[in-house]
Structures are given as structure tokens and as C-alpha cells.
Structure 1
Amino acid sequence: MASRTELKEDALDLALGILQLARDPEHGFKHSRHFSPIFKWDLQKEWLKAFLNHPKIKPLVDEQFDIPWPSFDAMRAMPVGSLGNCTQLMFSQLEIDPLPPVNKNLRKVVETNEKEDYLSRRLRKFHDIFHLALGVDTSVAGEAAVQSYIAVSQRQPAVVAAISAFMTHSFFYPDEHRMIWEAINFGTQVGLAGVFLEGCRWEEGWERPLAEWRSELGLTSLLKNSPFQDEIHRWETLPS
């Protein structure tokens, strides 16, 4: 069990991280070192153990399912509106790394095993595909929507810290206040509706229409209430 001194230090570190991320969300990786204590929480450890055995996650983990992504040139040749075509447009124009590096700013505070490492890599690798599927941008509001979805869908305690930072950001920047809270509401509603993006084998369906993916996942009707109406079909209609 952690000492009172350690708990106090961890709490202060986490509070600092929340405030820094709220003030400067553009440099989230830089501030992420302050969020390391989260991974020592018993709640987080219990979540990870349970999530690894989720009926839609366990087969992926046991199989270590991982098919290399096509090149952007190959995705560009896919049908307009397909998951692959939309992905390369979004990633290219927003300069998103398709294979985000390991965040070395996070201090390793707990030991992990092969299954846990695989799950962490997979969730990180497809984070921006969640943005695409949910039709949300990469602004603070868009990230708040995704993290709120994750909090409900995965029941993951760690994301509460990020959501707290985005909530705090809304008070620092009044012009973004309403959109951030509408985004949190949207992400929450998607999670409560039972949508589960984490279990998808996206790699087997790059050429499938994004609209088909959304319909299969139960997103189509939910997107009608999204505050990101200008973003939903943005990448489906742009020329490659």
C-alpha cells in the first residue's frame, strides 16, 4: 500500500497534469508525464484485468491480431468514402502519425505483460480511427467526445483525468465552453447506446464504406444528434 507521502505526491502530480493539459492541450504528450500515477490505481488495474477478458477484446488479445496497414498510396486508390480512403485523407491532411510512437514521457510505474502491452498498442494505434468513426474532429471538444465515449464504453478510470482537463479547459476558454460540454454529452450518449469500437477488426475492412461501418456499429442514428455536423461526412466527400 502506498504511503501517505506517496499518495500526496501522486495527487499533486496529477492535479498539475490536469491544469497543464487544460491550459495547453496542444502539447498533451509533454504534460502526460504527470498522469503516470493513474496506472498505479487499484481501479485502473482491475479495469485492465477485466477489459482483457471482454468477450470482444479477448479474441483479439489471444490471437495478438495485427495486420499491417496498407500504405497511404494503397488507401488513396480505395473507393471514395471507404474507411481506407477516408483514413489517408484525414491522416495526410492533419499530419497524423498512423503508427503513434510509445509515449516515453509516461513513467513506467507498474509492470506489464505481453497481453497488456498488446492492448495498449492497439488502443493507441486506432485512437484516431475512433475520431473518424464518431465523426469528431481533433480539437479539444473532439478529444473530449472520444474520451467520454471511452469512459462509458470501456469503463476505464484513467480517462477521467483527461476529461477533467477538458472540462477545466472549457472554463479557461469561454468560447469553447458550450462545444466541449456538448461533445462530452455526445460521447457519453454513444457509450451508453452500447456502441463498441474497440472490438472491431478494422484492418479487414479498409475498402468497406465508412457509412457501412457506422451502420453496423449502431452509429448512424446517433450521429444525427452530434454537435459535429460539419465533420461527420468531411472525409467521405473530399477528392483523394
Structure 2
Amino acid sequence: MLKQFEDLTRTVRNLHTVTDLLKSMGEKTENVFDIEDNFRGSDQMKVCVERVKAIPEARAMMESRYLGPEIDLEALSNLPPGTLGHTYATVMKALGFDPNFYRRRDVKTDADWVTMRLRKTHDIVHLITGFGPTGGELGVLAIHAVQIGYPMGVLLQVASMGLALKRQPEKLDYVTQQSARGMGMAIQIKPLIAQRWEAGWDKPVRQWREELNITNPVIDEPYSLKNRLPSLDLDW
């Protein structure tokens, strides 16, 4: 009975938070963290953890609690153009984003590690896949939903489509295309949760994509990172 009450309370909290997030067009990042935190201790998160453990490289990172060092944009800017580090720093500066903005959580469990690792590397995934921030969020979430069943990613896929269908049907095409693109990419590429990005800051973005089997990154679509930053002279 207690578990049923907890599940119901979690559902109500998530419904309210998701609605608020979607009304803001994804700009209220605190809502995203709230949704993730609401899934703490849930059956859905336990299943996600088991899927991560099934990936040997990810399991090794989880067991060692590897989160990597704090990201220093100035240091990354000194790397050669075209590398992951230099490109990431250039993009983050152009967007005015702080790479260490995410909500912190003490890593006491495997589930905590999964959440913190995804929070820290979120913008790296945007860059490596080509999905733009805000406008391309559903694509990134779709990848995590398919590859490891990340509860927040799954929930926002369903909620975004439902809200578009009910209130903004003219945006349904845009929403579903992002999700479909991310899902298709997720099946094709290697697990992103298993990558030690920090060990390859000096590796070219093109090489990273080749090794991950990202043969068709998001470049020309309206929800691409390139479309968000058309003035940057980068090898997209």
C-alpha cells in the first residue's frame, strides 16, 4: 500500500513538473532536474540501472563512480580546432552556457551515478550527435530512452507528443521527427553512457563519430546545433 502511494505521488509530481516544463518550451532546466529527482528510487530507474550494467564499459565506470574532472572551457579552447574539446568550448561559449551548471547530487547509489553522468555530459551528447539545445532536446532524450530506458527521457518523449497532439497539432511533425531521428540514431550507434569523453578531448569530432558509428549526424535539420549557431565556422 505504501509503495502504491509513493508511485501515485511520484506520478502527480511528474505530471505537474512536465506540464510546467513543456509550457516553457523546455527552457526551465530546473524542471528537468526535478523530474529526474522524482524518479529516484523508482522501479523505472532500477530497470534503467540494470540496462546500464549490461554494458561492460558503462558498468566499469559506474562501479568506479567515474564522473571525470570539472570541465574547464579555457583549457579546452587551447586544443587544436576540430577536436572535441576545442569544438565543445567554442559552442558552449557561443551559447553562453556554463558546463558545470547542472544540479549536484551525492553519488550514493548506482542510480545516482547514472543521473549525474548524464547531467554532466548532456551538452557533449548534443555536440557529438548534432542535436541543438532546446530545439533539439527531444532527439537527445530519445537516444537515452532507447539505449538505456532513462525514465526522464521516456516520460518527456510521451508527454511532448501528447501535448503537441492536444494543444499544438501544428508542431506535432516537428516533435515526432526529432524523436524518430534520435531513436533511429540510438539503435545504430554505440552506447553514449559508456564513453569517457574527457579522455578524448583532443580527438577530432569526426573521429569520435566514426568510432561511435554516427554516420549521419544531425546537421541540416531545423533542430540541429548548426542551425542554432549558423555563424560559427566549424566542421559540423
Scaled to the shorter chain, the TM-score interval is: 0.7 to 0.9
Bigger mean CA deviation after superposition, 50-59 or 216-225: 216-225
2:131–2:218 Cα contact (<8 Å) kept: no
Higher relative contact order (CA 8 A, sep 6+): 1
In the alignment, what sits opposite 2:14? 14
Q: 1:36 to 1:78 in 2, by over 3 A?
A: closer
Matched, 1:23 2:23: yes
Q: 1:18 to 1:12 in 2, by over 3 A?
A: same
Q: 1:57 to 1:115 in 2, by over 3 A?
A: same
**Structure 1 length as normaliser, TM-score?**
0.80
1:16–1:34 Cα contact (<8 Å) kept: no
CA RMSD of aligned residues (A): 3.2
Matched, 1:130 2:131: no
Give the superposition deviation at 1:101.
3.4
Instruction: List gaps (5 residues or longer) in structure 2.
Output: none
In the alignment, what sits opposite 1:58? 59
Bigger mean CA deviation after superposition, 219-228 or 197-206: 219-228
Q: Distance in 1 between matches of 2:46 and 2:196?
A: 25
Work out which of the residue numbers 110, 113, 119 in structure 2 matches 1:118.
113
Give the superposition deviation at 1:88.
0.5
Identity rate of aligned residues, in percent?
22
In the alignment, what sits opposite 2:99? 98
Q: After superposition, give the CA deviation of every residue in 1:61-101 in whole Å (9 maximum; x if it has no partner).
A: 23333442563232222221110111101111112221233
In the alignment, what sits opposite 1:189? 184
Q: Distance in 2 between matches of 1:114 and 1:10?
A: 19
In the alignment, what sits opposite 1:209? 204
**Structure 2 length as normaliser, TM-score?**
0.81
1:19–1:168 Cα contact (<8 Å) kept: no
Bigger mean CA deviation after superposition, 73-82 or 171-180: 171-180
Q: Distance in 2 between matches of 1:212 and 1:234?
A: 22
Q: Distance in 2 between matches of 1:207 and 1:112?
A: 28
Q: 1:118 to 1:236 in 2, by over 3 A?
A: farther
Q: 1:207 to 1:34 in 2, by over 3 A?
A: closer
Q: Distance in 1 between matches of 2:31 and 2:67?
A: 28
In the alignment, what sits opposite 1:39? 40
Instruction: List gaps (5 residues or longer) in structure 1.
Output: 105-110
